[in-house]
Structure 1
Amino acid sequence: MEQKIVFDERWAKVLTGALSFSCAIAAFAADDRQEQGQSDDAVQLDEIVVTESWPQFKSLNTTEMTGKAIAKKQSRISDTSALFDDVPGVSRYGSGGLSSLPVIHGLNDDRVKVQINGMSITSACANHMNPPLSYIDMRNVEQATVVAGITPVSVGGDSLGGTIILDAITPRFATAEEGTIFGGSISSFYRTNGEAFGGSVTLNAAGEHVALSYTASHTESDNYKAGGGFKVKSSQYEAQNHSMTLALGNDDHQLVVNAGQQNIPRQGFPNARMDMVDNDSTFGNVRYKGKFGWGNLETRFYYEHTRHEMNFLPDKRPGDMPMKTVGKNLGYLIKAEIPLTDRDTLRIGNEYHRNELDDWWPPVAGSMMMGPEIFWNVRNGERDRIGTFAEWEARWTEEWSSLLGLRHDHVSMNADTVQPYSSTSMMHRADRLAAGIFNGRSRDRTDDNFDLTALVRYTPNDTSHFEAGYARKNRSPNLYERYAWGLGSMAMYMNGWFGDGNGYVGDPDLEPEVAHTISATFGWHDARQQKWEVKITPYYTYVEDYIDVDRCPVTPGTACTAANLRATDGFVFLKFANHDAQLYGVDVSGKALLGDTRFGQFTGRAILGYVRGENLDTGDNLYHMMPVNGKLTVDHQWGGWSNAVELQLVAPKTDVTDVRNELKTGGYALVNLRTGYEWKHVRVDAGLDNLLDKNYDLPLGGAYLGSRPMAYGTALPGMGRSAYVGVTFTF
């Protein structure tokens, strides 16, 4: 109780001070504009930057965020995947408060390529509670990039839907005139819903050729409340992150060594049967970039190690059911960019990624169901991928340019024999049967996947641009999709990262997914790209051997019964299976300068997204398809003061997947308010999300499993009204 009082007093001071800053904004705004030398007609549409040079041919559907665009979101939410909430075609589906999974054009999770400081990290959890984006705190992100759609082969592989790249804050070198420099920042935030709070510190020291930085952050939250005050159980979380970076270099060469550690002692998952009760990760990353007479060279080597444990948090259910996982990721990248002529540029590269996984469930003393032996869910799982690519960019004229790339990925997988909790008990008969079948067959699998990307861009004038492309992309199954083997109800319920409460079993004979995507982008804007812009992107994807699910075939003595085949409601048991599928949709986005007055600049923004996914073999809908959704935002910028009013609109979700008994959700509208002010060394952000405290269900949230007993039929509710404030001091 004493700690609670200390918390309230300490953060009340932070909150009071920050709100005092916000209340003083209007009084200081005009003076600050004059001090900064900004005129009333200055155009500042810099929150999301889309450039033309990453790589040199950057898809028109590539979005970069840096600086203020990232800083404005750090106080609102702790989930790093939320950085992309305003990007057309990108959504995320509900999971833990730190671990949402990204979706691009209906393709989700492992189908999206995610790189954290150049590292490929695979979830070390049967419920994907530690996806790649959870391994970096939002306040340690310097640049965030998303390619929503066709991805160049040099930045994609073993994925279908797009690419997300996050780069952490790197130290800058001092100039010769500066000598040795020191600096950093301190930040804190507080959110009323869940009483979430946290902070971070960054320290930098640099000379002309040596730079060092250290970043640490802490964040935690209690369970959040839905609209109307309903407390959503198992939605609490806590995390600490530490990272240190050493950079050595000059104008042409740079070596960066980065190491870090993360601990998540608790994270509830309201749409899963288990919670995370510990997650410890360490990583090391070495990167070299150099410029030579023939071109540019980049090399990288990384290693990451995770120890993860699932169990029940106290508010989900009583009891003890430990499930432990150890995951390892290591890899390298060698990439060269070679200008062949003034017109032609060649990029070639080779990369390797190895994922190792052990997933076991220790016996529980005195339990007949969970003992007396170790349950091996995945034992010595191995997944090796080696990829080689070549990419040719050509700028034919001022109006025409193209990009053509070819990639080959060799994927090999294997796992050792497994065992159930007991080799004699009748209670474990189903899993004994399944283990015997699994252990008696070959588990070594090899895939050879070929990717092809072709893009062409036409820019006829300074007010329009057009782009069209085709991509053939591949993804091999992950270790759980191929090697989850149990056929008992508990074993099947414990495997599955879909938030639907259903049980899953894998299939070693799954084929890789092969996606064929065609897409076009039509864009119009003013000559300076500062006053207005409209962009429309229709797309179509046909996927051979899409990894969907079937009801598991009837197997006597297991959870796969005839009643399971016929069930039209309730939780069911499913087996991963290949099917042909199609996804199609359109992204629409636009912005316009509404007014430029003596009281600041007003800008309107709008995005609209539609996606439809269908299983062509069964006629069923694909799972986790976001219904029609959009956002309308009016931004106000006056010197260092920024404000926004946002209306978020989501249609009812009626196209659901029958095989999973997916729940329908209603449509809703949310109103969000933002304000912030930036002085030379201080930034204050405050806002109010879900202003009207709307009670709504998340269309991609899945089933709410926080009730006792866990019951089918309730969708996961979204967060109710939440006020927040954050303060950052730089020095």
Structure 2
Amino acid sequence: MKTLNQLTKSLVMAFPLVLLTPYNATADDIEQIVVLGERTTERIAVVETEVQHADISDNLRLIAGANVNKNGSLTGIVQYRGLYGDRVATQVGGQHIIGAGPNAMDTPLSYSPAIITDSITMQRGIASVTSGIESLGGSINTTLKQAHFSETTHALLSGDVRIGYQENGESKNTAGLINLSTNKAALMAYIDTRMAEHLTAADGRVITPTGYTKTQSGFSGAVRFNDATLGVNYHYNDTHEAGTPSLPMDIDFIYTHRTQLYGKHALAKGELSWQLGFIDADHKMDNFQQRMNMMPTMHRSNHAQSETTSFTIDWKNNAWTLGFDGYQSTHDATITNPNNMMFNIANFNNIKDKKISLFGEYQQHYLAHTVTLGARVKRISAKADNVSHHMAMMNPTIKELVTSFNQGDRHQNDTNTDLTLDWLLPKIHNTQLLISIAQKQRAPSYQERYLWLPMEATAGLADGNTYLGNVNLESETANQINIGTTYQTDNFMFVGDIFYTRINDYIQGMPNMNMPVNMLAKMMMNSDTVLQFSNVDAQLSGFDGQLVYQLGEYWQLSTTVSYVRGKRKDIDDNLYRVAPLNGHLALSYQGDGWQVTTRLHAFASQDNVATLNHEKSTAGYGYIDIVGDYQLANQLSLNFGVKNLTNREYQDHLSAYNRVNGSDISPMSRIPSTERSVWLTATLSF
């Protein structure tokens, strides 16, 4: 009850401020809504993306149960009900995204350009087997604008031009898209450029490095004939000098080419959809250009490259969905020191991670009941080539690590299965109950398998510890149950869930008992702790929900609440980086051509921290944002807002720790909240 009381106190203390400002969020504009998906047992949370966010993952905080692990201005990692990273199936425009960096600096949602991102959708509760290959922790997809057809044979031209500015960090955004179309063919092109300086904390300190320069551009083309549509999408990402203060290195550059071919066809009283994707990413990071490092011998540069080929084919009608999908990604990462030409570490060498999967889902209506059964069978193959280290002939511990890895069995195969059952009960007095059970499995990531030398290449864990991989890891197996209820009238909606997940063979770092390796990590990484990825047992449970109440023609009240408790089952400890009890309260007003929304965000303290990860607790807090828009003319609109209205000082539990020496923020202290900031964006549509 302690955390619940703290959250209630935060809401009560700030509520008078909420009442002072009219604020709005309509279902089709700002606030997230829950709708039934294509399958009537699916409940989809939809949140419209807000234009001021440099990283669209920040929008996830409006979805009940969802949150984001922030390691920098552009590096938001999706979290849902305490699970994050590879455990959440994250797609951009329906394409599976594998980042180039071993520390998740180029997270999947960072590849979703703001100018063409309409919304983020998440399956509430247990994700369906059709939503992704690895969906143990849920499923997220962004809806992207593509080349769209007109309803006439004459060519029509349309588009958007956008400019924006945010006070904190002097963030600037210029973007535009153009679409040329007929009823048979369409072509769209876009560009989205963002740049910013370092952010300032609410207490006046400068958070370095948090500046960035990022440009995304691309085109989309489509043709249709009879009952078929064919299309191609191409996206280019160019990120430069982006700070990640919660990680041991910052982004030097990320160059990524992403291509997607797709098609839809009527077939056998159903629809056949397919897509083929390719990603080529080149990524470099270092620990000396954007942060203080006075020791040239400790300068490090990590050059990572990745290629991914993916495909999806599925056919669906009113009852069945049948599909075949998969991907193969290749990863390389080499660490050097620009001041020492002999320094060379093959961190990851020609890692090949391959997943092939068959899936099917069947839905049956019986009286007023609806039952959906789903199954997915996955074949996972992973392998790595020999590694090397420039000091292998001089240091016996390094030599032993190189020899042991190179002579070991590095080719691993797993066959995993996902099974789901959803039972939608009849509606009674505007209330409907959904009971879902599932078994989900996830194979180890390539970092968890093949990190052979003590390092922090941990897919963005950002706990400050040094890790070792484990080639012999077993796949995680989760047994899940979710009970959801939906109540809806003409002016009121409530959607709530309680859930329980037991994960056998959960992958987490455990203390390494090899003393020479620990001494090596102390010498090379100044690390007192080496954790080796191991299989343990874990449990997550909690509840989340959303309420929307229409207070007449112009006013609306909405709120979300999210709580998850993550803990180990084999020892008395908690899971790392789990969001505390939190929620937001929104009061909305919509006038003639304008609307304003005021949100109170409230977080309880988080004392259930992971002792093994040396995780620090955080205090509870609440802060207020204001967002709104004004339609100046038929084609010109303004979006505006204020972040952290009362300039509240707090520490976000999911923002991890400062890893930068010589900055205003003490090393290994939590990244603080940013100061109050006004932002304004103008969009011209034609």
Give TM-score, length-normalised by structure 2: 0.92
2:78 corresponds to: 102
Q: Separation in 1 of the partners of 2:527 and 2:581?
A: 26
TM alignment of 1:332-343, pairs within 5 A = 332-339=311-318
Contact 1:496 1:504 in 2 (8 A): no
Question: Paired residue for 1:468, among 435, 459, 463?
Answer: 435
Question: Paired residue for 1:219, among 180, 190, 194?
Answer: 194
1:275 pairs with 2:250: yes
TM-fit CA distance, 1:388 = 0.1
The range that moved more, 502-511 or 455-464, is 455-464
Q: Separation in 2 of the partners of 1:51 and 1:557?
A: 50
TM-fit CA distance, 1:144 = 2.3
TM-fit CA distance, 1:607 = 0.8
Aligned AA (1:348): L
1:64 corresponds to: 46
1:12 corresponds to: none
Deviations 1:298-337 (A, max 9, x none): 0110100100001135441235421100011111111001
TM-fit CA distance, 1:594 = 2.3
Q: Separation in 2 of the partners of 1:281 and 1:645?
A: 37
Aligned AA (1:334): I
Identical columns (%) = 23
Aligned with 1:125: secondary structure?
coil
Q: Separation in 1 of the partners of 2:488 and 2:248?
A: 49
TM alignment of 1:154-169, pairs within 5 A = 154-169=130-145
Q: Separation in 2 of the partners of 1:668 and 1:577?
A: 34
1:35 corresponds to: none
TM-fit CA distance, 1:588 = 2.3
The range that moved more, 156-165 or 407-416, is 156-165
2:500 corresponds to: 540
Give TM-score, length-normalised by structure 1: 0.86
Q: Separation in 2 of the partners of 1:119 and 1:252?
A: 23
2:549 corresponds to: 592
The range that moved more, 690-699 or 587-596, is 587-596
TM-fit CA distance, 1:495 = 4.6
Q: Separation in 2 of the partners of 1:688 and 1:251?
A: 49
Contact 2:286 2:300 in 1 (8 A): yes
Q: Separation in 2 of the partners of 1:711 and 1:229?
A: 14
Aligned with 1:372: secondary structure?
strand
Deviations 1:228-272 (A, max 9, x none): 211111111111001100100146211111112111012111111
TM-fit CA distance, 1:545 = 0.4
Segments of structure 2 that go 5 or more residues without pairing to the other structure are 1-20
1:327 corresponds to: 306
1:509 pairs with 2:465: no
Question: Paired residue for 2:421, among 449, 454, 460?
Answer: 454
Contact 2:77 2:84 in 1 (8 A): yes
1:5 corresponds to: none
Taking a change above 3 Å as real, the CA distance of residues 585 and 560 of structure 1, as seen in their structure-2 partners, is: farther
Contact 2:118 2:145 in 1 (8 A): yes
Aligned AA (2:51): Q
Deviations 1:27-75 (A, max 9, x none): xxxxxxxxxxxxxxx9954235656553232523x1124xxx33xx112
Per chain length, whose mean CA-contact separation is higher, i.e. which structure has more relative contact order (CA < 8 Å, sep 6+)?
A: 2
1:656 pairs with 2:633: no
Question: Paired residue for 1:136, among 112, 120, 135?
Answer: 112
1:18 corresponds to: none
2:6 corresponds to: none
1:477 corresponds to: 444
TM-fit CA distance, 1:476 = 0.4
Segments of structure 1 that go 5 or more residues without pairing to the other structure are 1-25, 27-41, 340-344
Report the number of matched residues.
Answer: 656
Q: Separation in 2 of the partners of 1:277 and 1:362?
A: 14
TM alignment of 1:127-526, pairs within 5 A = 127-176=103-152, 179-250=154-225, 252-312=227-287, 314-318=289-293, 319=296, 320-339=299-318, 345-365=319-339, 367=340, 372-397=342-367, 399-426=368-395, 429-461=396-428, 463-487=430-454, 492-495=455-458, 497-526=460-489
Aligned with 1:559: secondary structure?
helix
Taking a change above 3 Å as real, the CA distance of residues 43 and 81 of structure 1, as seen in their structure-2 partners, is: closer
TM-fit CA distance, 1:496 = 5.4
Aligned AA (1:74): V
Taking a change above 3 Å as real, the CA distance of residues 211 and 713 of structure 1, as seen in their structure-2 partners, is: closer
2:659 corresponds to: 705
Aligned with 2:342: secondary structure?
coil
Q: Separation in 1 of the partners of 2:275 and 2:290?
A: 43
Q: Separation in 2 of the partners of 1:450 and 1:207?
A: 45
Deviations 1:504-554 (A, max 9, x none): 11100011111111001112121x3xx111222100000010001111113
Contact 1:277 1:311 in 2 (8 A): yes
- Cα RMSD for the two superposed structures: 2.3
TM-fit CA distance, 1:570 = 8.3
TM-fit CA distance, 1:171 = 2.1
Q: Separation in 2 of the partners of 1:406 and 1:585?
A: 25
2:64 corresponds to: 88
Q: Separation in 2 of the partners of 1:578 and 1:657?
A: 16
Q: Separation in 1 of the partners of 2:488 and 2:270?
A: 34
